[in-house]
A and B are shown apart, each in its own frame.
Chain A
Amino acid sequence: MTEQHKDYTGAKLGMWLFLFTELILFGGLFILYGVYLNRYPQEFITGGGELNVWFGGGNTLVLLTSSLTVAMSISALQRGNRSLCVKLLVATIAMALLFLVNKYFEWSAKIHHGIYPGAPSLQEGPPGESVFFGLYYLTTGLHGLHVLIGAGILTWVMFLVRSGKVNGDDFVTLENAGLYWHLVDLIWIFLFPLYYLVL
């Protein structure tokens, strides 16, 4: 009864399988982007020009750095340094929240300028532009939701590490949470250049 069976490989493989479904989900949104870019190149360029590279670039730095801290937190726990692990997780969660604060200001500025799904100015404009901003809000919104969920999961794991339930001998929960967080970063790696840079 004392030794609980844990299938480490199974747990991680399951997480990866879930991440593959996420990849296909966002893949679908990138296909939509590609197809509509092909159909409305001019409107996409106009729409992309409205996006602020500083918000996008700043959030890129935040996410890349948060990926580093969560990866380091795993190494720290493997080496038995629990307090460093917790500190790194707190830093990761803080950056997740910073990302969302940035997103809030970015979206507020857009909405303030009358750019939001179903806005009169978009409905009167060319159809390609409302498609662009519809996709922009859908893709970055779904990604933002993942950031929010990721921050929640990391907070939960941080408490598990602090209480010692997740520790240097049993840390697959932290690894899987980290994998989820890296996926959020991966999607942003493609989202940022496609929406903010190349148009």
Chain B
Amino acid sequence: MSEHDKGHIIGYPVLIAVWLALLILTAITVAAAQIDLGELNIWVALGIASVKSSLVIAVFMHMKYEKPLFQVFLLVALLTLAIFIGFTFFDVLYR
């Protein structure tokens, strides 16, 4: 096993900062849901959830420090999921 394979050590302050950001975003999403924005509520919730998951994937799951191959794989997986969801809704919403 070569040394550079072992990866990057993330310091505790960084991890705690991400955790705090996640807590703040959770508070924002709970607060935003109390305001009636109609259709927009679901998009706000999904937007905040996407920011939260980017933080978890990038830092907690070390994706930011992985080789580009990992990031390409993630992109392909997310694109596949987006195609599944997108095409289903083209059908459902405009039938």
Size class of the B contact interface (CB-based, 8 Å): 35 or more
Interface residue tally for chain A (C-beta within 8 Å): 46
Q: Residues of A with Cβ closer than 8 Å to B?
A: 6, 8-9, 12-13, 16-17, 20, 23-24, 27-28, 30-31, 34-35, 38, 53, 57, 60-61, 64-65, 67-68, 70-72, 74-75, 78-79, 169-170, 175, 178-179, 182, 185-186, 189-190, 193-194, 197-198
Q: How far is the CB of A60 from chain B (nearest CB, A)?
A: 6
Partner of B70, one of A16, A79, A194: A16
Binary interface profile of B, 10-44, with partner A (CB < 8 Å = 1, else 0)?
A: 11100110110011001001100100000001100
Q: Which of A34, A182, A186 contacts B89 (CB 8 A)?
A: A34
Known A20-B73, A31-B84; further 13 A-B contacts with Cβ < 8 A: A12-B70, A20-B77, A24-B81, A30-B85, A57-B30, A67-B19, A67-B56, A71-B59, A75-B15, A78-B6, A169-B6, A182-B60, A193-B46
Binding site for A on B (CB under 8 A): 1, 5-7, 9-12, 15-16, 18-19, 22-23, 26, 29-30, 33, 41-42, 45-46, 48-49, 52-53, 56-57, 59-62, 66-67, 69-70, 73-74, 77, 80-81, 84-85, 88-89, 92-93
